């Protein structure tokens, strides 16, 4: 059983860029996976609600090309958290469109992919609210009610590594 796992995380947020030399050195160290987050706690909530990405498409693609080709060259997983900046379905679809374009441009690169959505429909939250199963985690305890939820354009759950580990352990269909 392997006791050590090496992860290469080339940048703090996908689309913020990273030096080629640093990435090459990281790849040379034989990582087990390339892991990058695309989210932020400061701009993330606004971008989730606005359904826009934190970075430009050009910046995201520039990083994704290098990350995907680097992962493919070593035959290791590439894991992108909070895809598109906030991890909502619209953000994931935006990121997947860029990835699909990269794969069309590099037909020799055909990785298996998995998507883990974390969107929670407002109706589910309202139902749980009526059941008394929703409580505020905010320090000032801002109220959460149907009025606020009716004006909310998107809610995503925070999750741990378990869903990602499940996908990696089960493998992906061919």
**Interaxial angle between packed helices 57-74 and 89-105, expressed in degrees from 0 to 180 and rounded to the nearest 10:** 60
Residue 150: partners with Cβ closer than 8 Å, 6 or more residues away: 122
36: enclosing H helix or E strand: strand 33-37
Q: Round to whole Å and give the CA distance between 32 and 150.
A: 43
Cα–Cα distance between 169 and 20 in angstroms, integer?
31
The confidence score (pLDDT) of residue 160 equals 82
Is a pLDDT exceeding 60 seen at residue 127? yes
Rg from Cα positions in the chain: 18
Residue 37's pLDDT is 82
Where is average pLDDT lowest: 7-11, 42-46, 72-76, 100-104? 42-46
pLDDT score at 23 = 97
On the question of pLDDT at 142 being above 80, the answer is no
- Render pLDDT for 14-71 as a digit per residue (tens, 0 to 9): 888 999 999 999 999 999 999 998 666 666 666 666 666 778 899 999 999 999 999 9
N-terminal to C-terminal alpha carbon distance within the chain: 25
**What is the pTM assigned to this prediction?**
0.85
pLDDT greater at residue 71 or residue 136: 71
The per-residue pLDDT of the chain, averaged, comes to: 86
Q: Residue 14 and residue 59: Cα distance in Å, rounded? A: 8
């Amino acid at each position: 059983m392997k006791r050590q796992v090496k992860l290469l995380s080339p940048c703090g947020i996908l689309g913020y860029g990273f030096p080629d030399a640093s990435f090459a050195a990281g790849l040379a160290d034989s990582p087990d996976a390339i892991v990058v987050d695309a989210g932020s706690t400061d701009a993330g909530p606004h971008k989730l609600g606005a359904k826009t990405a934190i970075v430009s498409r050009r910046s995201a693609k520039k990083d994704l090309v290098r990350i995907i080709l680097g992962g493919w060259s070593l035959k290791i997983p590439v894991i992108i958290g909070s895809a598109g900046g906030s991890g909502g379905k619209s953000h994931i679809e935006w990121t997947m469109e860029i990835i699909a374009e990269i794969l069309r441009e590099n037909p020799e690169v055909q990785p298996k992919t998995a998507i883990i959505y974390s969107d929670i429909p407002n109706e589910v939250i309202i139902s749980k609210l009526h059941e008394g199963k929703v409580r505020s985690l905010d320090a000032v305890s801002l109220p959460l009610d149907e009025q606020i939820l009716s004006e909310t354009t998107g809610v995503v759950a925070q999750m741990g590594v378990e869903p990602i580990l499940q996908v990696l352990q089960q493998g992906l269909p061919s």
